[in-house]
Structure 1
Amino acid sequence: MTGDAYEWVRVIDYQPAQNLADAGFLHWQNTTLIETGRDLPYTEHWNRKKGFTSSIPLHLQLEDRTNGCRAAFLMVGRDFMFARERTVSIPPGMTLHEAVSQASNEEHARQLVDCEISFGSIAEAGGPLLIHNSTLPWKTGTLFQFDLSGETIVTIPDIAPNGKNLTRRWHRVHTEGNC
């Protein structure tokens, strides 16, 4: 919080960092949380999902020690989000579109858009996790699978930017909640 404004710091972000902070003012209007921009003109209305019951969330911060890539998994109730940063950097001052347009080759362009932010839910307790929306369109409608059986390692079957199957091995950097 800076003064009266709250600032959102993105550790993993699909778009490159901007010059202006993502900061806004928050206030409640009945049961809706209203956010208005401090540096940019915007208004967002945050509503609690109907039928939502509070539960102990599961939050994992992950790191691939071979390339330094970071990821996060968050599950609250039946909803989850998985975010994985790209393994290549976007040059400072460029938009994602500019960087992809100026990529040296097709493989580099694929690496620039290989940043996953997937949202989904679990249909029933103990059931599979289904991805409803993703920055990687081929993942929408698929199952999100991972193995938490290791104390420090999390494995996730995935698809590389070139379309080949791979297994990502993540080290748990931080864990909150029950696995």
Structure 2
Amino acid sequence: MNELERCRWAQGDPLMAAYHDTEWGVPVRDSRLLWEMLMLEGFQAGLSWSIILKRRASFRAAFAGWDPGKVAAFGAADIERLMADPGIIRARAKIEAAIGNARAYLAFGEQGEDFGAWAWELAGGAPARGDGVTFPAKTAASEAVSKALKARGFKFVGPVIVYAWMQAVGMVNDHAKGCFRRDTT
């Protein structure tokens, strides 16, 4: 049986291959899921995505199913609880950023805006397509989205994190040439 050709980063690890094959690069329009993925990308900073995937269920449990309303209400006791949770990345700055980012996310609704529609509009409205050969760490688009997120009060949303998020949620199709997913997302 022939093995499917995948992006190089998804080869050799069944968990990464499953994520690549079913999620990465598939356009996400749901605001809450976009926010969850942005938070996970922030926790991933400086680490490998496979670490985040292995801890994804623990993150969901620790952060109340990534319910922004619940996360926004977290206080000092919750921060200490999260700092003691071995199932997640225990970085205080990232934990505090996720809580603040929940508040920033909720501000969209309070202002009558939809986070997902806003983010997609900033990203160009439709998936951009990489060349399948070069894979930048950031782009002018990710720099603009990062700047706009920061202006809205978000933290841990630098242009490299934002570009990884844009790839993950399908704002950018960066599947490699030859990858079986390149023309399916």
What TM-score do the two structures reach when normalised by structure 2? 0.29
Q: Which has the larger radius of gyration?
A: 1
Answer 1 or 2: which has greater helix percent.
Answer: 2
Which structure ranks higher in relative contact order (CA pairs < 8 Å, sequence separation ≥ 6)?
Answer: 2
What TM-score do the two structures reach when normalised by structure 1? 0.30
Answer 1 or 2: which has greater strand percent.
Answer: 1
